[in-house]
Amino acid sequence: MGTAPATFLLLSFLRALLDQLNFSVLPEKIAVGISISLSGKFRLQGEQALRGVQLWVAYVNQEGGIYIEERAQSLAVELIAYDDRSKMDRAKDNVVRLLKEDRVDILLGPYSSVLTMAVAPIAESEKKILWNHGGASDAICRQGWRYLVSVLSPASCYLRSLPAYLTMRETSLRRLLCLTASSGTFAAHFIAASVIFLMLGAFTTGLHFYVEWLKSLKVEPIFIYTFKGLEYLVFGTDVVLFVVYVGGSAIKAILTMVKRWIS
């Protein structure tokens, strides 16, 4: 997964957040903290994400910092980054350090769903918003966390349109091979949704071509309308499954938050 689009989208959210910050005691700089993988199995993606954040910090400071309206003053941004070595325990320790010792104003999440899942409860307990740019597992949005903001599409949405596209382009296509990791929740949600949408996409495409074939034979309209209706029915099933499988996660999270607020 490319991290650059998610990183810059995240930073636009941060800019909006900073406009609303009200510093009771004016600090010299705005501290932004991140636990990121600079070694271990997530090193490559971690380095990419960190470079994106560093580019933003350099640009903001070159432009004179971020203007805080309540204080009528611009503040420079200071980035504090710790290597989590792609390990959950290390990521947890880093986040605690950023919140307790460095007392960062803004907390950015780590790369990967597994590390995000590991540190999110800490941000939740400290009531500090965790800006999630690197975790896309559907499991993340099913926890009902109130202090986590995600800018990524859920893993189950990643290839939703690809199966239908492939079967439409290659009508002779019969089998697809998907290789996924057995660990973590990202791959599980990714492949489960892909299989569902592949089956529905192939069926819908087959019905579409069958209807076109019937038209070419100039058969009775009732037959064409019947299979056309079946095509729409399958398409509607696709939409319903998408809402249940993907949207259901968001609905569950919202209901969980409402329940917490009421209690």
The string of pLDDT tens digits covering residues 141-151 is 888 899 999 88
The confidence score (pLDDT) of residue 69 equals 82
For residues 179 and 130, membership in a common domain is answered with no
Residue with tokens 């989208």: 9
| Mean pLDDT, residues 80-86 | 97
Q: What is the chain's mean pLDDT, rounded?
A: 75
pLDDT score of 206: 47
- Of 188, 11, 35, 5, whose CA–CA distance to 111 is shortest? 35
The domain boundary, picked from 133, 152, 171, lies at 152
Instruction: Identify the weakest region by mean pLDDT among 69-73, 106-110, 154-158, 194-198.
Output: 194-198
32 and 11 in a single domain? The answer is yes
Closest CA to 223 of 231, 214, 232: 214
99 or 201, greater pLDDT: 99
**Burial class of residue 2 (count of CB atoms within 10 Å of its CB; 0-12, 13-18, 19+):** exposed
Q: Say if residue 103 is in the same domain as residue 201.
A: no
CATH of the domain at 109: 3.40.50.2300
Tell me, yes or no, whether 127 and 215 share the same domain.
no
Residues 168 and 254 occupy one common structural domain? yes
Which residue in this structure is represented by tokens 């380095």? 47
| Of 2-16, 101-115, 144-158, minimum mean pLDDT range | 2-16
Do residues 41 and 137 both lie within one domain?
Answer: yes
Pair (21, 129) in one structural domain: yes
At residue 243, does pLDDT exceed 80? no
Domain extent, residue 249, equals 162-262
Q: Mean pLDDT, to the nearest integer, of 69-78?
A: 88
Counting the structural domains of the chain, the total is 2
User: What percentage of the chain reaches a pLDDT higher than 90?
Assistant: 38
Domain assignment of residue 188, yes or no: yes
Residue 244 within a domain = yes
Give tens-digit pLDDT for 128-144. 999 999 998 888 888 88
Q: Do 90 and 121 lie in a common domain?
A: yes
- Residues 147 and 240 both lie in one domain: no
- Taking 90 as the threshold, does the pLDDT of residue 20 lie above it? no
Let me know whether 62 and 42 are in one domain.
Answer: yes
